[in-house]
């Protein structure tokens, strides 16, 4: 009797465990399909032509306006400058906030985070005027500076939390070996917080690569347009109609680098959140 009862309880536990796994994987699969559907539909629409399927839409995209190569180079330049600027300032700022004590530290950190509460479209016009006085209107450098400013609050927050999570003994060991503050940062600390650095860089890349509104306000010349501006402006010019198949080809072209980069860095991305943004 006892053996039968134990076997029944074991079978019930196994059934509940298998049912839980089935529900988990079923839900995860359904959500994956839900999020992938727009991209899959864009991919299908990008190769659909009135006469079947082909790469006609991609050829139209390549030769649109000043050429897709021009817009791609512009986006790469803006994204590279934004990522490098964000990492440089946020790593130095996060290291200072996380490992040093100085007057007004908490107040300055709160002031940095307060930028998150300001809707950035409301300050684009003042920034446009400021860039004009600096001679950086209609400039990829000016656009990159604005995008770096938008990324800094979150990036500094993540880096500060990550540096605070590093054991003090590691820094003390570097000091015993004769390392100064900057040497400790570049040779010891930066390797410890690498997942957070990857996360900040990935966020900066996605924001700069897909940014439309700031580029629309700050860039005037078509030869300086980034990919989002070029893709949105792909109109047939016939009674104001939009060439949707070519537009979808542009969407797929823009999405591929984001997907590849995220898949390559997803482990560091998750670890960065666990050690940085989610730390209280």
Taking alpha carbons only, the member of 50, 92, 109, 108 closest to residue 186 is: 92
- Convert the pLDDT of each residue in 149-208 to its tens digit: 999 998 999 899 889 888 888 888 888 888 888 888 888 888 888 888 988 999 999 999
Name the residue with tokens 């482990």: 267
- Among candidate residues 261, 259, 266, the one with its CA nearest the CA of residue 36: 259
Q: Strand, coil or helix: what is 49?
A: strand
242: alpha, beta or left? (left if phi > 0; alpha if psi -120 to 50): beta
- On the question of pLDDT at 89 being above 80, the answer is yes
Taking CA atoms, 113 is separated from 117, 160, 269, 274, 280, in Å, by 8, 12, 21, 20, 15
Q: Tell me the mean pLDDT in the region 215-239.
A: 81
Half-sphere exposure of 178 (CA within 13 A, CB side): 0
Helix (H) or strand (E) holding 52: strand 52-53
Does residue 13 surpass a pLDDT of 80? no
**What phi and psi, each to the nearest 5 degrees, are found at residue 48?**
-85, 130
Domain 57-277 fold is: MetI-like fold (1.10.3720)
Q: Per-domain residue ranges for the chain?
A: 2-46, 57-277
Distance (Å, whole) CA 111 – CA 255: 34
Residue 242 pairs with which residues in a beta bridge?
235
What global pTM score does this model have?
A: 0.83
| 74 band by pLDDT with thresholds 50, 70 and 90 | very high
The helix (run of H) or strand (run of E) holding residue 172 is helix 168-176
Contact 186, 91 (CB under 8 A): no
Q: Round to whole Å and give the CA distance between 174 and 187.
A: 9
Rg of the chain, C-alpha, whole Å? 25
Secondary structure letter of residue 100 according to DSSP: -
In this prediction, residue 3 has a pLDDT band, given cuts at 50, 70 and 90, of low
**How high does pLDDT run on average in the chain?**
83
**Chain-centre distance for alpha carbon 243:** 28
Q: In terms of DSSP H, where are the helices of the chain?
A: 2-46, 56-62, 68-99, 105-114, 124-133, 140-164, 168-176, 181-184, 190-192, 194-210, 213-218, 227-232, 244-272
At 280 the pLDDT is 45
User: CA 148 to CA 159: how far, in whole Å?
Assistant: 15
């Amino acid at each position: 009797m006892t053996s039968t009862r134990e076997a029944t309880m074991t079978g019930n536990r196994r059934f509940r465990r298998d049912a839980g796994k089935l529900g988990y994987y079923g839900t995860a699969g359904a959500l994956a399909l839900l999020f992938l559907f727009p991209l899959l539909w864009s991919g299908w629409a990008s190769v659909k032509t009135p006469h079947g399927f082909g790469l006609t839409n991609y050829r139209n995209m390549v030769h649109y306006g000043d050429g897709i190569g021009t817009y791609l180079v512009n986006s790469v330049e803006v994204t590279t400058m934004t990522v490098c600027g964000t990492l440089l300032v946020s790593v130095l700022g996060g290291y200072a906030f996380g490992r040093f004590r100085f007057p007004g530290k908490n107040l300055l950190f709160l002031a940095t985070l307060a930028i998150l509460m300001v809707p950035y479209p409301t300050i684009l016009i003042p920034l446009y005027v400021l860039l004009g006085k600096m001679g950086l209107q209609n400039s990829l450098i000016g656009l990159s500076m604005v995008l770096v400013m938008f990324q800094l609050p979150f990036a500094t927050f993540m880096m500060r939390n990550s540096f605070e999570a590093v054991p003090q003994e590691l820094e003390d060991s570097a000091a015993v070996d004769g390392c100064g503050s900057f040497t400790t940062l570049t040779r010891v600390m930066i390797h410890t917080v690498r997942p957070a650095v990857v996360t900040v860089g990935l966020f900066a890349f996605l924001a700069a690569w897909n940014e439309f509104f700031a580029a629309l306000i700050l860039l005037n010349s078509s030869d300086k347009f980034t990919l989002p501006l070029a893709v949105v402006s792909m109109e047939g010019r016939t009674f104001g109609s939009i060439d949707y198949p070519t537009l979808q080809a542009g969407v797929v072209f823009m999405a591929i680098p984001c997907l590849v980069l995220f898949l390559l860095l997803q482990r560091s991305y998750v670890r960065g959140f666990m050690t940085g943004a989610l730390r209280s």
